[in-house]
Structure formats: C-alpha cells, structure tokens
Amino acid sequence: MTGELKEIIEIIKSPVFTSSVRIGILLILLGVDKITFTELLKSLDIPKSSLYYHLKILEENELIIIRDVITITRPRTIIQITPKGNSL
Amino acid sequence: MSDFNSLQRFIEGSEMARRVYLRQVRRIIGLFYLLISTYVPLMFGLTLIYLNFHTSLTIIDPVIQIIIYSPLVYSIYIIFSSILLFKLRKIPSVMKKIREIKSNKPRTSKIFYSSYFYYFLSIGIISSLGLYALLVGGEVGEVVEIVENFLILLLIIKYFYYLFSLLEVDKWDKEDYIALIGAIIGFIGGTVFNSYLFFVFSISWMYAGLSLLRKNW
C-alpha cells in the first residue's frame, strides 16, 4: 500500500467520513468548486432530508459553506468547498 | 473500522462524484456547442446587413465594417469558450487522483504522453498556422484560417473525449456524432464547394447543444 493511500484511508476513517455520501460530496466539490443544492439532489438521487443532514455535518466540520443566493430566476442554495476542505 | 471498509466507502463516494462530473461535463459541452453554433449565422447576418444596406445605413456602416473585418467577434467567442472550458479544469486532476487511489498505483509521468506536451504542441501548430495565414493573406490565407479553426474545434472535441475516458464513458452520445459529422461536412464542404455548407456545421452544433442541455439541465 502506498503512503498516499494510507494517508487517504486515515482521513476516511475520521467520523466525518463514515458515510460514502459525504466522501462523494467532498470529491464533487474538489472538482467543481461549487454546486447548487438542487443539482446535487438530482445527481445523488438521495432524499432531500438525508442530503441536508450530510451537508450539515460537512459544514459543522468547516469543510464546506452553505449559502443562499438570489439569482434572476429564483433563490438558490449554493454549496462551496472551504480551504480546509480543499486541503484534504 | 477496517481499511477495506474505508476503501469501499471511498469507491462508492468516487462513483457519485463521477456521475456529477459527467453531468457537469455534458452540460458545458452543450453550452459550448450552442455558443459556437451561433458564430456562422451571426457573421452571415452582419455581412448581409452590410452588403445590402450599406448606402442607407451610413451611421452604423463603419461599426458593422469593423465588427465584420476585425477579429472582435472572433475574440469574444474565444473568451466565452475559454470561460466554459475553464470550468472543467479541475475534473481531470481529481479523476486521475481517484483512479490512482483505486488502483493503488502512483502515476508515472511520461513527457511524450503528458497533457502538457499535447497542449504546447497544439498551441505551436495553431500559432504557426495563424502566422502563416497572416503572412500569405488572400484566398490561400483564408483557407489556412478555416483549416486552423477546424483544427481548434477538433482539438477541443478531442479534449472532451479525453474527459470522457477519465469519466469511464465508453459510449458516445448521438449528439457527439452529430456534432463531429456536422463539423466535418460543414468545414470541408464550406471550404471546397459552397460556403453555405458552413450552415450544416452550425445547425448540427445547435441541435447537439440544445439536446445535451435538455438532457442534463
């Protein structure tokens, strides 16, 4: 096993990443920086309450920021990765 | 908690990320097709206005002339295309990293196969063609410019398929075939036979773009 893999497994072992959905959300945000709640819901195909729960845990651990923004069409919830989340 | 379980969760998470990336890539490709498809009709429309009304519209005449004969519109398209492609910049590196972790093999760098090598080679060829078109001028210059634009589009399409291979897409969508065939017919037919055939390129890209956006928005 390479050192990098060991390091990643150690990170995944932390309580924040006991769910694959949270790992998935963080990986998504590493590639796209920010995404809307609706888009994430459509793509992940999980219940709204479940997604909200996972997002709250990531937010409490300062890995993501959730903010509401007003756009031309309608208000949207944007999820953005933090520098701490990026550093993982 | 075992290492196996942790790795399993990582694999499940990376599959979710792959699905979202694919959707994102498809959407950006749709927007790109749609943006590029408007270039030929726009330039055609502006040229038509200039040629048919240039005696009656004396005030806006010079403005249209500048728009048509300067690289202004072309530059705007380049800027917007770059903004779209820039949005995808992080996906390849994250997918490569995920692939390395899943296979537990670190990446070996080979200069001749690296993306940087292709990037600089492409820039070199396109710049040389652009310079050659500028130096030669006339009809030959125009043909070289068309070849250059065609090459740019092919390189961008190649980049999209490189992203698809990273995202483990083994089957092209019908929109991709339509866009590729439309570009080949439009550019070759438009250059060799009749310039109206450029519209085949525009129409096919417009259809491909709208269809991709409808599916992935």
Distance between CA atoms of A67 and A52, rounded to whole angstroms?
13
Residues B16, A32: C-beta atoms closer than 8 Å: no
Residue of chain B with shortest Cα separation from A23: B13
Q: What is the pLDDT of residue B109?
A: 55
| pLDDT digits 0-9 by tens, A9-23 | 777 778 888 888 999
The alpha-carbon gap from A38 to the nearest alpha carbon of chain B, in Å, equals 11
> Chain B partners of A4 at a C-beta cutoff of 8 Å?
100-101, 106
Residue of chain A with shortest Cα separation from B7: A9
Q: What is the pLDDT of residue B33?
A: 93
**Closest listed residue to residue B143, CA positions, set B133, B153, B152:** B133
Domains of chain A: residue spans and CATH: 3-87 (1.10.10.10)
The alpha-carbon gap from A6 to the nearest alpha carbon of chain B, in Å, equals 9
Residue of chain A with shortest Cα separation from B25: A32
3-state secondary structure chain B: CCHHHHHHHHHHHHHHHHHHHHHHHHHHHHHHHHHHHCHHHHHHHHHHHHHHHCCCCCCCHHHHHHHHHCCHHHHHHHHHHHHHHHCCCCHHHHHHHHHHHHHCCCCCCCHHHCHHHHHHHHHHHHHHHHHHHHHHCHHHHHHHHHHHHHHHHHHHHHHHHHHHHHCCCCCCCHHHHHHHHHHHHHHHHHHHCCHHHHHHHHHHHHHHHHHHHHHHC
| pLDDT digits 0-9 by tens, B22-34 | 999 999 999 999 9
